[in-house]
Structure 1
Amino acid sequence: MNAFQGQTFQMHQLINIKQVISITGLCRSTIYEMMDQDSPYYDPTFPKKVKITQNRIGWSAYEIHQWIESKLANRE
């Protein structure tokens, strides 16, 4: 199953937080909680952010896709 069905993206494309929210169905705060090692929601498998400029971050569209695929493969 392709989590990006109906969406166009480049494998090496960097996407912003709004796109990550749209693709994953997670809210902004949950995404940041999943990246926070001190949070009970921390997920070490969630893709790391990429610092684009001093004030802008993004995520690899490919890594987000792979993360979703791994969640689907490991479901019970």
Structure 2
Amino acid sequence: MKTFVRRPEVLTRTGLSVSTLYELIKAGRFPRPLKIGVSAVAWDADEITEWQERCIAAQRDTSAAA
């Protein structure tokens, strides 16, 4: 079963600010929100977790190369 998370939880889980979140979305570097209602959006929790794992892997790859 899929879990959706709203923006406050996305910000808490990622540590991003609102402006950075939307900058990353615009740049195609963060999952786009899904429309879940007339005026409501949310993110797929699994996509947020995958993004976090990619960030960690990229950081470790960079650290190992140094």
TM-score (structure 1 length as normaliser): 0.72
For residue 20 of structure 1, report the CA deviation from its aligned partner: 0.3
1:51 to 2:41 alignment: no
* CA–CA distance in structure 2, aligned partners of residues 29 and 45 of structure 1: 14
Max Rg structure: 2
SS at 2:42's partner residue?
Answer: strand
What is the match of residue 26 of structure 1?
Answer: 16
SS at 2:36's partner residue?
Answer: strand
TM-score (structure 2 length as normaliser): 0.82
For residue 45 of structure 1, report the CA deviation from its aligned partner: 3.3
Structure 2 residue ranges without an equivalent (≥5) = none
For the aligned residue pairs, the C-alpha RMSD in angstroms reads 1.2
